[in-house]
Amino acid sequence: MSSAPTLSPSAFELDDDHRSFQEVCRTFVARECAPRVREAEKAGTFPAELWPAMAAAGLLGVGHPEEYGGTGGGVLALAILSEELAHASGGLAITPLVSSYMAGPHLARYGNEEQKERWLRPLLEGKCAAAIAVTEPGAGSDVAGLAARATAVGGGYQLRGTKMFITNAGLADVIIVAAKTDSDAGHRGITTFLVERGAEGMTLSPPLEKLGWHASDTREVAFEECFVAEDGILGERGRGFHQIMEAFQVERISLAGMALGLGQAALDEAVAHAKERRTFGTTLSKHQTIRHRLAAASAELESARALTYQAAARWDSGHPEAATTTAMAKLVAPRVASRVVDEALQVFGGYGFIEETPVAMHYRDARILRIGGGTDEVQLEILSKRMGL
């Protein structure tokens, strides 16, 4: 090469707009979310007063159409928001992320005008919440294998089946439900439906007791001859699988962002503890084995952050390898977070094993990120296929 290659600093750093948005998110989380974490964990639910507060701060409409109350921005902004929310609590973060950024995009992309006005606008205003019900007792990552059925009847459809691990089910005003309208068409026979809270024939279990994400509401949802009118179809009949797969991409970026936030929070707490805790006549941070662990964790997190931000930026720019980088980010960031929170807990010693220290919550909250939104194994399969294997 005749001259040194040149790269824009933005290839490695957030630009001014994204840095400003990051600061908005960070300030909001410190002021409004962090003080409510312990109470939300004990109550097992999302603080209701945060919905209008997040809407007023523009944090429910990132990337959504401005004509329905969205606030602009793209996938990179969502990754930043996810990271900052999870820095406070995974359980607190996942509730609005599911509503606005995992269920919400289905309404924005596939909803008709009436559906957008009825559900998307109030959702972005913090006046209602949404959930999406795809996972079943016998079908998780294998979306095409779901067993729920939607049978055509006069004026609409009757839903039958059971959905499992549905985040926001107990507080959602509307649930987006995936069911087969054509049992013989495989993944081409899946359709998504809008089911309102309190619909006859829909039954919610009590909240599931989970290892982590204690501040989020998660339930089993059963449908037994639950009638949904024809205008309750979301998108096109038989296109539900494709709609779900498309939405999965942004969901995976959001979950990778959450992994960064959880890992960073645990690392921050471990560093502060290491500077204060004294053993053998000095602070933990003066022991090489401890400071090297923390340094390695910092390097891993920064590497995962660069990969996650790259994946998000590629979606925003229409890069042809965006899906590949997303699978990498979804694989790597949660794995890194799991290692970092484990190291952080080790630094805390016995104190990390009691609920008095937030690192115990981060330890529990991080584990699900390797499962939800497509397991490690799913991401590896995606990547191996893209390698021609």
Alpha carbons 384 and 315: distance in angstroms, whole number: 21
Could you say which of 86, 110, 128 is where a domain stops? Answer: 128
DSSP state of 334: H
Sign, Cα dihedral of 378, 379, 385, 389: negative
Residue 2 domain-assigned? no
Instruction: Copy the structure tokens of residue 180.
Output: 């087969």
Residue 1 domain-assigned? no
Q: At residue 8, does pLDDT exceed 70?
A: no
Q: At residue 17, does pLDDT exceed 60?
A: yes
Question: What local confidence, expressed as pLDDT, does residue 11 receive?
Answer: 57
Residue 67 domain-assigned? yes
Tell me: the pLDDT tens digits for 225-261?
999 999 999 999 999 999 999 888 999 999 999 999 9
Question: What local confidence, expressed as pLDDT, does residue 357 receive?
Answer: 87
By annotation, the residues acting in catalysis are 251
Q: Are the CB atoms for 181 and 237 separated by under 8 Å?
A: yes
Percent over 90 (pLDDT), the chain: 89
Question: What local confidence, expressed as pLDDT, does residue 1 receive?
Answer: 40
Q: What is the CATH number of the domain that holds 48?
A: 1.10.540.10
Could you say which of 95, 128, 161 is where a domain stops? Answer: 128
Picking from 159-168, 180-189, 200-209, which range would have the lowest pLDDT averaged per residue? 180-189
Q: At residue 328, does pLDDT exceed 70?
A: yes
Could you say which of 102, 128, 154 is where a domain stops? Answer: 128
Residues 219 and 303 in one domain: no
Question: What local confidence, expressed as pLDDT, does residue 2 receive?
Answer: 42
Q: Nearest to residue 201, comparing CAs of 151, 239, 144, 244?
A: 151
The neighbouring-strand residues paired with 31 are: none
Residue that has been written with the tokens 């957008």 in this structure: 116
Alpha carbons 377 and 343: distance in angstroms, whole number: 24
Question: What local confidence, expressed as pLDDT, does residue 268 receive?
Answer: 98
Question: What local confidence, expressed as pLDDT, does residue 206 receive?
Answer: 97
Residues 253 and 377 in one domain: yes
Residues 224 and 325 in one domain: no
12 or 107: which leads in pLDDT: 107
Tell me: the pLDDT tens digits for 331-358?
999 999 999 999 999 999 999 999 888 9
Q: Are the CB atoms for 335 and 370 separated by under 8 Å?
A: yes
The pTM score is 0.94
Tell me: the pLDDT tens digits for 284-309?
999 999 999 999 999 999 999 999 99
Residues 185 and 258 in one domain: no
Question: What local confidence, expressed as pLDDT, does residue 35 receive?
Answer: 97
Question: What local confidence, expressed as pLDDT, does residue 9 receive?
Answer: 45
Domain with 345 in it:
242-386
Tell me: the pLDDT tens digits for 58-77?
999 999 999 999 998 999 99
What's the whole-number mean pLDDT along residues 303-328? 96
Binning pLDDT at 50, 70 and 90, where does residue 12 land? Answer: low
Q: Nearest to residue 94, comparing CAs of 79, 76, 106, 82?
A: 82
Residues 202 and 269 in one domain: no
Q: What is the CATH number of the domain that holds 171?
A: 2.40.110.10
Q: How many domains does the chain have?
A: 3
Q: Mean pLDDT over all residues of the chain?
A: 94
Q: At residue 3, does pLDDT exceed 80?
A: no
Q: Which residues contact 13 (CB under 8 A, 6 or more apart)?
A: none
Binning pLDDT at 50, 70 and 90, where does residue 139 land? Answer: confident
Picking from 77-81, 182-186, 222-226, 259-263, which range would have the lowest pLDDT averaged per residue? 182-186
